[in-house]
Amino acid sequence: MILRDIKFVLEFNPNKYISEIRKVMKEKKLNEEHATQFYYKDKFQDKAVQIRDESRCISDLYISCLGKYHTSETKEIIIHLVDELSEASLINVDGFMEVQIIFNLEQYISLTNHQKNQMLLNIIQRATKSVGDIFEWEYQPFQEAYNKVIEKNYENNYVWKKKVSPGRKYIAEVFCMHEINEYLIYMIVKDYRDKNELKRELLHRVSPHEFMFAPYLGDLKWLSDDSVALIGENPRRQWAVNV
């Protein structure tokens, strides 16, 4: 197996919010179970989605810097962000390794985007170290990946695909900027000979989660000598740029 992904899950601890839940029980005339569900959807669910989405940038960058790390134990690490550790803080099932890390939600929310990325990277470092100790992994590749992310200043920018025009006059590139709170997709056209940038057009600005941006990344195709299009996963969806 190859370690292909690291995901974050913000865990909800009802005991931490029991006083608020009891207020809901009184105001909405609900039992504890239904009041807990109401409180989660009303006050906590958006925060869980925020953590899930905002962590995708740094997780993707870290895995990219790590490269193809082969393991016999797991293909994905799922980091559960918790208030307190349970007895079974490390669980490995069918190639999915679940690890618990103590997390301060209020502190995270107060940080700048750059500080959030730093915090998330350090959590990844702690999680991979915990998993690596259990499975006796060579840890140097993980340390190198950590260092590379810092060297890149936590910026996850890359050319997704490039293609030369039929007349070999231009090069088109789909350039992606995976930021903590958004994913930007640009079409860049360069001169084939000197590689000077001739045009840059923002095609899409979407959520940083791959479920939102992946449908836009199907193919790159020149429609003519001076018109190029980004093709979606659904080939009927195309976004053309004229040079």
Rounded distance, CA 39 to CA 27, Å?
A: 12
Q: Are 116 and 106 in contact (CB under 8 A)?
A: no
* Average pLDDT score, the chain: 95
What local confidence, expressed as pLDDT, does residue 197 receive? 97
Please indicate whether residue 86 or residue 33 has the higher confidence score (pLDDT): 33
CA distance to 11, 13, 81, 209, per residue, from 111 (Å): 20, 22, 17, 20
Please give the model's pTM, rounded to 2 decimal places. 0.91
- Per-residue pLDDT tens over the stretch 41-53: 999 999 999 999 9
Rounded distance, CA 222 to CA 114, Å?
A: 37
What local confidence, expressed as pLDDT, does residue 186 receive? 99
Does residue 88 surpass a pLDDT of 80? no
Per-residue burial over 28-60, b if 16 or more Cβ lie within 10 Å, else e, is: eebeeeebbebbeeeebeeebeebebbbbbbbb
Domains in the chain: boundaries: 5-151, 156-242
Reduced to 3 states (helix: H, G, I; strand: E, B; else coil), residue 97 is strand
Q: Which residues contact 224 (CB under 8 A, 6 or more apart)?
A: 166
What is the strand order of the sheet 183-191 is part of? 156-164, 170-178, 183-191, 197-206
